[in-house]
Amino acid sequence: MLVCFLASLALSAPPQDRSTELESALALAGANRPAIEAVLAHYAEENDAEKLAAARFLITEMPGHGRVDYGLFDAAGNEIAFDALAYPNLDAAQAALDALEVEHGPLDFAKKALVEDLQVLTTDALVANVDGAFRVWRERPWARDVTFETFCEYLLPHRGSNEPAEDWRGPLEEALRGPLAGLEDDVALNQVVGLANAAARERVGFATLFYLHPTDQGFAEMCSNGRGRCEDITNMVSYAMRVAGVVAAADYTPFWGHRDNNHAWPVTLDGAGRGSAPDGRLAAKVYRKTYSKQRGNLCFQLAEGESAPPWLDRPTYVDVTDQYGPTSDVEVALDAGVSERFAYLCVFNGGDWKPICWARVSDGRATFPSLGRGLLYLPATWVDGAVQPAGEPFVLEAQGTVRTLRSDPARPIEAALFSATARAAKAGPDGGRLPQFEAGQRYELFLWRAGWHALGIHVGGDGPFVVHDLPANALFWLVQEGSRRLERPFRMEGGRQVFL
């Protein structure tokens, strides 16, 4: 297995490049370099070729891994004091955050600093992690089919995301020793998964309050708080799975394509590193976190000074959307005059278009692979840190066909709008639909045509919002005044709103 793994590394980068990357990692360690080099010396003296190769992998890929703290900043870059955990629930924390925005203007969470693992991890901590991972891989019967490459990527790493680096193997090994000891060699893997999940869930559960606590919690903090967001829970589950000898990964969608927000979740993989979970089956894109850098990712294609949207500029993820269900490759014709080297597809999320994947531009066209179906997309470019529409929005239907939403004013339609949201329509006494507008509230209708264009305002009352001379085959958006603009866009079909 070791030979196969080293061969796979050779395919991704020439051997001399791997040596250069290891040297670069050691240089980044700075004053902590002796501690990192001592790990390599330890396994060289131990004369265990697999452990030495694993330690080299761990260290070579370590740059960029570390603890990241987030802060709340205003438009001028000033940090504004805010601690979501000082409030009893999400509503109270959101109200406090809204008050701060009234005082300081628009605020956003941003990274403050990265504390590189290379510069702080001790020899003992790294050796304990490597030895613990090998003990699991070599001793758990259900881990026998795990390849060395998959082991290094998903069982060996000492961290899950950007949380503080701590010893979680020791406490979880102790917690799982009894439950795992009584299992037969041919035990069904889902039984092992259940035990590992139980150990994780005993330590941390979900709480919406942590949506406003973007700094990832460490193992001790999760055990103390007993709550966290999906990222925290995914990390805890990953720890428990690694200790149990189950190959698991953290999958995520940066932005849902059919609703607001994002999501991350743990997924159990086979010995070759493939797998899926129900959480991601409605996603436009599912990405899997890796410990190693993926040299084909966008960040490695950018020229000096060229930027990319957040999330897509990361080096450590792979696209696994096609492991979650039917997908389609879609070629898109971009607007005339697009000169950028890369194009993006966006989904509508949080009241705005958010880039979800990228592709190279060639002769005014871009082909986006493995798109989740049944969702709305918009082609775009990234210019001066902002999304620039670069084509017509389209719906990739569940059957894989593409429906382009190009508004056609030559075919005017009349529409009766009954809601600003995708809630199921209520039936009236006569069986007809009842409008779902709040009495006295104002609702503004927008049409998409290379941007949102206001068409008119409706004041909620007894009847629907009737609009004349709307263009056919168009994308619309109806927004309640004073809302957080989380309403979904829609198209008209058969006289009804079809929310997207």
384's torsion region: left (phi>0), alpha (psi -120 to 50) or beta?
A: left
> Would you say the C-alpha torsion 169, 270, 233, 25 has a positive or negative sign?
positive
DSSP bridge partners of 382: 387
Task: State the Cα torsion 155-211-287-371 to the nearest 10°.
Answer: 160
Least confident window among 16-25, 408-417, 422-431? 422-431
At 9 the pLDDT is 42
Q: Mean pLDDT over residues 332-360, rounded?
A: 96
Dump strand ranges (E) for 225-350. Answer: 227-228, 248-253, 263-268, 287-289, 317-319, 327-333, 342-349
**Residue 107's pLDDT is what?**
95
Fold of 326-404: Immunoglobulin-like (2.60.40)
Q: Where are the domains of the chain?
A: 326-404, 408-499
Residue 94 binned pLDDT confidence (cut-offs 50, 70, 90): very high
d(CA 444, CA 458): 6
- Mean pLDDT, the chain, integer: 92
Q: 416: closest CA among 359, 486, 492?
A: 492
Looking up tokens 């149990």 gives 244
- Distance, in Å, from the CA atom of 138 to the CA atom of 157, rounded to the nearest integer, reads 16
Q: Per-residue confidence at 15, pLDDT binned at 50, 70, 90?
A: very low
Angle at 405 between CA 403 and CA 408, to 5 degrees: 125
Least reliable range by pLDDT among 91-95, 134-138, 462-466 = 462-466
Q: Which two tokens stand for residue 1?
A: 């297995």
Class of residue 13 by CB neighbours under 10 A (exposed 0-12, middle 13-18, buried 19+): middle
Q: What is the mean pLDDT of residues 422-434?
A: 70
pLDDT value, residue 11: 35
> Does the pLDDT value for residue 167 go beyond 50?
yes
Amino acid present at 407: S
**Confidence bin at 271 (pLDDT 50/70/90):** confident
The whole-number pLDDT of residue 4 equals: 39
Share of residues in the chain with pLDDT > 70 (%): 95
What DSSP designation does 355 have? E
Return the number of other C-beta atoms located less than 10 Å from residue 482's C-beta.
8
Provide DSSP, 392-433: --EEE-TTS-EEE---EEEEEEEEEE--SS-SPPEE-TTSPE
Q: pLDDT digits over 391-404, tens only?
A: 999 999 999 999 99
Distance CA 201, CA 193 (A): 12
Total-model pTM: 0.87
CA torsion angle 207 209 215 218 (round to 10): -30
Instruction: Give the tokens for residue 436.
Output: 């779902």
The predicted structure's pLDDT at residue 424: 61
pLDDT at 6 over 90: no
Is the alpha carbon torsion for 389, 493, 373, 231 positive or negative? positive
At 425 the pLDDT is 62
Pairwise pLDDT comparison (4 vs 470), residue with the higher score: 470
pLDDT of residue 462: 81
Handedness of CA 128, 176, 53, 18 (dihedral sign): negative
* Low-confidence winner among 379-383, 463-467, 472-476 (lowest mean pLDDT): 463-467
Q: CB of 244 within 8 A of CB of 142?
A: no
Q: Helices in 48-147 by DSSP H: which ranges?
A: 49-60, 90-104, 123-139
Q: Which of residues 70 and 434 earns the better pLDDT score?
A: 70
Whole-number pLDDT of residue 95? 96
Task: Give the bridge partners for 113, in sequence order.
Answer: 69
Task: Say which residue, 59 or 430, is predicted with more confidence.
Answer: 59
Give the closest residue to 380 by CA, choosing from 395, 397, 366, 370: 366
Round to whole Å and give the CA distance between 89 and 127.
Answer: 41
Q: Looking at residue 1, what is its pLDDT?
A: 41
